[in-house]
Amino acid sequence: MRIDKFLWSIRFYKTRSIAAEEIKKNRVSMGTSAIKSSKEVKEGDIIKIRKNQIDYKIKVLQIPKSRIGAKLVPLHIQDVTDKEQYELLKLRKMTQDYYRNKGEGRPTKKDRRDMDDYVGNDIDADFTDWDDFFGETDDESEEEG
C-alpha cells in the first residue's frame, strides 16, 4: 500500500491529499531518508512523522485493506514515539496563554481587565484634585489672571 494511502487509512491525516502534501514537504520519512507518496509500506516499517511540532514514530503491524475505524487503529500500528515528545506537546499546550488570535476584533471586557491589572495604575482612584495633578496651584492661577 502507498504511504499516503496508509497514513490516511490509519487516520493519521484527515484526507489522502493532506497526507500527500505533508510527504511532499518532507515531514514524513522512513529511516533517515525522505520519501515520496508512492513509497510502498510493508509490515515492520518504522515511519517518522512531523506533526504539531513533535516527531511521531509509528511501527506498521498490519496493512489495512481500506480506511479503518478509530478503534481498530491499534491493531495496525504501534506508537513508538519518545515520551519526551509528548511532554513537549503538553508543555506547549500549557504555555499558550492567549486564546484569541491577533486581529479577531476588540478586546473583551475580561481582556481589558486583565490588561489593566497587568499594567496597573500609578494614580490612586480616590485622587480628585486635578490642579495638584497638573502641577497648578491656586496662587499661580491668581497671578496669571
List, for residues 74-96, the tens digit of each pLDDT value: 999 998 988 888 888 888 777 76
CA distance 130 to 135: 8
Q: What is the pLDDT of residue 96?
A: 64
β-strand partners of 55: 50
Query: What is the average pLDDT score of the chain?
Result: 82
Domains along the chain with CATH numbers: 3-86 (3.10.290.10)
pLDDT at residue 91 in the model: 81
Note the pLDDT of residue 101: 63
Q: Tell me the CA distances in angstroms from 145 to 57, 134, 135, 136, one per residue in order.
A: 83, 18, 17, 13
What's the pLDDT score for residue 127? 58
pLDDT of residue 139: 60
- Strand boundaries in 32-132, DSSP class E: 33-34, 46-51, 54-60, 77-79
Q: What is the residue-level pLDDT of the chain in tens, covering all 145 positions? A: 999 999 999 998 999 999 999 999 999 998 888 888 888 999 998 999 998 888 899 999 999 998 999 899 999 999 898 888 888 888 877 776 556 566 677 778 888 888 888 887 655 555 566 677 677 655 655 555 5
Handedness of CA 98, 100, 102, 105 (dihedral sign): negative
